[in-house]
Amino acid sequence: MIFLLALFLGLGIPAGAQQETDLSSFLDTLLSVDPDSSILVLDPMLEGAVASMEAGDAEGAAAELQDIVLRTPNHLQALRLQASCYLRLKDVENAIATCLQISALDSLDTSAQVTLGYLYQASGNANNAELYYQLVLDKDPDAYLALFGLGWIQLDRKNLDDAHEAATRITEIAPEYAPNYVLLGRVLTVKGFYKEAAWAYRHGFSLDPSLRARYGILLQELTIRHRLEP
């Protein structure tokens, strides 16, 4: 499962604004990638690193993969595994460097570019994040994870109509993507549509109850401050 995850860098990421999400929540969704989604042949030289990752030793796996990458710099499977290790270790700097290598070797790999967008966004570099999200959207206008990241950037910049448009578009192409309703709720709150914002939060929590523990305070404050029905 782990090596398939890393080979794809499969991105079900909640790539929200820096203050709204973090690397841990990104990894939680990243790790939910279905291992049966594709059949891949693993290079035998990577089996030791995969075993280390499956045993929870991401640091050891990263060191082993670094040796492999030094010998074969264009080994995409090794690089994707290495990126996954760095993500597990919350090593943003090395994760960015590795994803840049992946993107240079495989310009069609939008998952690596979405990852770059998220990592730059999480490290406070919104301009670079926007660049990589836009590269993804140029290839696939329905790439909702890139739209999601851009939505948070636009909200941070107070471009409320653009943020609203991004969140609304995601409800059309990925209506079950629960974190988007947190974004939508934040945008609607700032725009003064309080009842609609409360609905967005509640809908997101119904899709993914785990979001309530983290963002329930936003709904609570909204209902109290504006005297909405609980």
* CATH code of the region 1-136: 1.25.40.10
CA–CA dist 205, 142 (Å, integer): 24
- In whole angstroms, how far apart are CA 182 and each of 43, 56, 84, 187? 40, 32, 26, 9
Q: Where in the chain is the domain with CATH 1.25.40.10?
A: 1-136, 141-230
Top pLDDT among 176 and 41 is at: 176
Instruction: Take residue 55 and report the two structure tokens written for it.
Output: 């045993």
- Residue 35's SS3 state is coil
pLDDT at 180: 94
Instruction: Name the nearest CA neighbour of 211 among 189, 178, 184.
Output: 178
Taking residues 113-142, report their average pLDDT. Answer: 93
CB 201 within 8 A of CB 222: yes
Instruction: Take residue 221 and report the two structure tokens written for it.
Output: 């404050």
Top pLDDT among 89 and 164 is at: 164
pLDDT band, residue 40 (cuts 50/70/90): low
pLDDT band, residue 139 (cuts 50/70/90): very high
pLDDT at 7 over 60: no
pLDDT at 2 over 70: no
* Residue whose token pair is 């690596």: 112
For 206-223, write each residue's pLDDT tens digit: 999 999 998 999 999 999
pLDDT at 187: 96
pLDDT at 18: 34
Look over the chain and give the mean of its residue pLDDT values, rounded to a whole number.
83
pLDDT at 67: 95
pLDDT at 141 over 50: yes
Which residues 6+ apart lie within 8 Å of 183 measured at CB?
16, 20, 148, 151, 152, 155, 163, 166, 167, 170
pLDDT at 162: 97
Which range of 10-19, 27-36, 193-202 scores highest in mean pLDDT? It is 193-202
Residue 61: alpha-carbon gap to chain centroid:
22
Residue 55: alpha-carbon gap to chain centroid:
24
Taking CB atoms within 8 Å and a gap of at least 24, the contacts of 77-80 are 77/3, 77/7, 77/42, 77/43, 77/46, 78/43, 78/45, 78/46, 78/49, 79/105, 80/6, 80/7, 80/8, 80/9, 80/112
pLDDT at 24 over 90: no
Architecture of domain 141-230: Alpha Horseshoe (1.25)
